[in-house]
Amino acid sequence: MSSLDPPVLTPTRTRMALFALALGGFGIGTTEFVAMGLLPNIARDLLPHLWATNQADALAKAGIVISAYAAGVVVGAPTIAAMAARFPRKTLLAWLTVAFTVGTIASALAPTFATVVIFRFVAGLPHGAYFGVAALAAAKLMGSEKRGQAVAFVLSGLTIANVVGVPAITYLGQHTSWRVAYLAVAGIFALTTVAILAVVPHQDGDPHATVARELGAFKRPAVWFALLTGALGFGGFFAVYTYVSPMVTEITGSPERLVPAALITLGVGTTIGNVIGGKLADHGALRAVLWLFGALTVAFFAVIVLSPTLPGLLVALFLVGLAASAISPAIQTRLMDVAGDAQTMAAAVNHASLNVGNSLGAFLGGAVIAAGWGYLAPTWVGLALVVPGVIFALAGWFVTRGRAGIGQRDVSGTTPDDGDEAEILAAASAPLGS
Q: For the chain, list the domains and their CATH numbers.
A: 11-429 (1.20.1250.20)
Q: How many CB atoms lie within 10 A of CB 403?
A: 15
In sequence order, which residues have a C-beta less than 8 Å from that of residue 253 and are 6 or more positions away?
Answer: none
Are 328 and 32 a contacting pair, CB within 8 Å?
no
Length of the chain: 434
- Report in angstroms the alpha-carbon separations of 209 from 107, 137, 201, 203, 204: 33, 16, 21, 15, 12
- The model's confidence at residue 404, banded by pLDDT at 50, 70 and 90, is very low
Specify the higher pLDDT residue, 190 or 73: 190
pLDDT at 427 over 50: no
Overall average pLDDT of the 196-213 stretch? 81
Q: State the pLDDT at residue 11.
A: 78
Q: Is pLDDT above 80 for 394?
A: yes
216: enclosing H helix or E strand = none
- Angle made by CA atoms 151, 244, 166, in degrees to the nearest 5: 50
Backbone angles phi, psi at 10, to 5 degrees: -70, 155
| DSSP letter assigned to residue 164 | I
Q: At what angle do helices 11-46 and 147-160 cross, to 10 degrees?
A: 40
**Cα–Cα distance between 428 and 287 in angstroms, integer?**
16
Contact (Cβ atoms closer than 8 angstroms) between residue 219 and residue 429: no
Q: How much is the pLDDT for 429?
A: 30
**What percent of the chain has a predicted confidence (pLDDT) above 70?**
88
Rounded average pLDDT over 408-429 = 36
Contacts 24+ apart (CB under 8 A), 54-63: 56/369, 56/370, 56/372, 57/370, 59/243, 59/246, 59/366, 59/369, 60/366, 60/367, 60/369, 60/370, 61/366, 63/39, 63/242, 63/362, 63/363, 63/365, 63/366
How many CB atoms are located within 10 Å of the residue 212 CB? Answer: 9
Question: What average pLDDT score do residues 13-24 get?
Answer: 90
Residue 430 pLDDT greater than 60, yes or no: no
d(CA 359, CA 35) in angstroms, rounded, equals 13
Beta-carbon count within 10 A of 109 CB? 13
Residue 426: count of CB within 10 angstroms of its CB: 12
Residue 417 has pLDDT above 80, yes or no: no
Distance in angstroms (rounded) separating the CA atoms of residues 71 and 75? 6
The reported pTM is: 0.71
Q: How confident is the model at residue 121 (pLDDT cuts 50, 70, 90)?
A: very high
Side-chain half-sphere exposure of 232, counting CA atoms within 13 A: 22
CA proximity to 276, closest of 298, 305, 296: 296
Residue 359 has pLDDT above 90, yes or no: no
Residues 174-198: what's their mean pLDDT? 95
Residue 345 and residue 85 in contact, taking contact as beta carbons nearer than 8 Å: yes
If you average pLDDT over residues 310-314, what whole number do you get? 93
Residue 85 has pLDDT above 90, yes or no: no
- Rounded to whole angstroms, the Cα distance separating 115 from 396 reads 40
| Cα angle, residue 408 at apex, residues 404 and 412 outer, rounded to 5° | 55
Q: Confidence class of residue 220 from pLDDT cuts 50, 70 and 90?
A: confident
Report pLDDT for 71: 83
Amino acid at 265: T
Q: Are 68 and 121 in contact (CB under 8 A)?
A: yes
DSSP at 410: -
